[in-house]
Chain A
Amino acid sequence: MSIPSREEMYAALEERHGKELQKKISAASAAVCGLGGLGSNIAIALARAGIGRLHILDFDKVDISNLNRQQYFPEQLGMYKSDALCDTLRRIAPYCEIRKDCVRLTEENIPELLGNEDIICEAFDKAEHKAMLVNCILERMPEKYLVAGSGMAGIGPSNAITTKRMMKRFYLCGDGTSDVDDGMGLVASRVLICAAHQANAVIRIIAGEFDV
């Protein structure tokens, strides 16, 4: 079966989200930094919502240990995550403009790589990398909206995961404490909750709803 046209897909989105909101979502752009349990799920949620441009970045390859929570398939093992997720996003949202970069983000390359998107999602695994990206964006790219995730390991209560507005343009999702380094594994259901908080924060920013 052939896929629907761009106009048919857009009309279906408008019908569900409303004309005004869909216009904003379709005109918006976001970058997702890290394509693991948080990032792969955030990117898919934004693609399904009909975001206009999506920039996905990760240096890593799909590993069997990722399949419990990340949006990859067994036949994609060994592929770069940026390639594998791009394939999936194109199937979900064939008219979304996707830029993929297989790259490790550093303080040196962040300003250049993330210059074009209005909203940046931090979706890394390591605490040090989360802090590096957040500090770099807040110090050097203060015009960006930043949505970060911290604390979603284990099977703690769903309702411990929240979205906080830490600064005018900096939102932080998670329970803030459940650390994978404390021996708690990452479980799809709870990682998805945090990813959904982040994706919804992005949609709300796009809609001009800035409170939490």
Chain B
Amino acid sequence: MVKINGEMLDKAGCSVTDILADMGTSGQRVAVELNESIVPKAEYSSTILKDGDTVEVVRFVGGG
């Protein structure tokens, strides 16, 4: 199980690109942390989540 934005989900083995697709977001408006470290954008597809990982997907919205 992987903790994604506070929710335990069966996503071990998925890539960061996969979970962003599940969330219906492209990589253009997000920052992704894996175990409190930033995941570089170039590594979204090659970063495979493991059991016990904690992922935080920060989705930015417009306005400023």
Given A135-B31, A166-B56, the answer on whether A127 and B36 have CB atoms closer than 8 Å is no
Contacts of B38 in A (CB 8 A): 135, 138-139, 142, 167
A163 CB–B CB distance under 8 Å: no
B interface SS class: mixed
Range, interface on chain B: 10 to 19
Q: In the complex, which range does the number of interface residues on chain A fall in?
A: 35 or more
**Given A166-B56, A172-B58, A131:B29 Cβ within 8 A:** yes
Assess whether A152 is in contact with B63, with CB atoms less than 8 Å apart: yes
Chain A residue at smallest Cβ distance from B32: A135
Identify which of A134, A135, A166, A179 contacts B62 (C-beta below 8 A).
Answer: A179
Report which of A128, A167, A177 forms a contact with B33, defined as CB distance below 8 A: A167
A contact residues vs B (CB 8 Å cutoff): 34, 36-39, 123-128, 130-131, 134-135, 138-139, 142, 148-153, 166-168, 172, 174, 176-181, 184, 186, 191
Chain B residues with a Cβ under 8 A of chain A: 28-31, 33, 36-38, 40-41, 56, 58-64
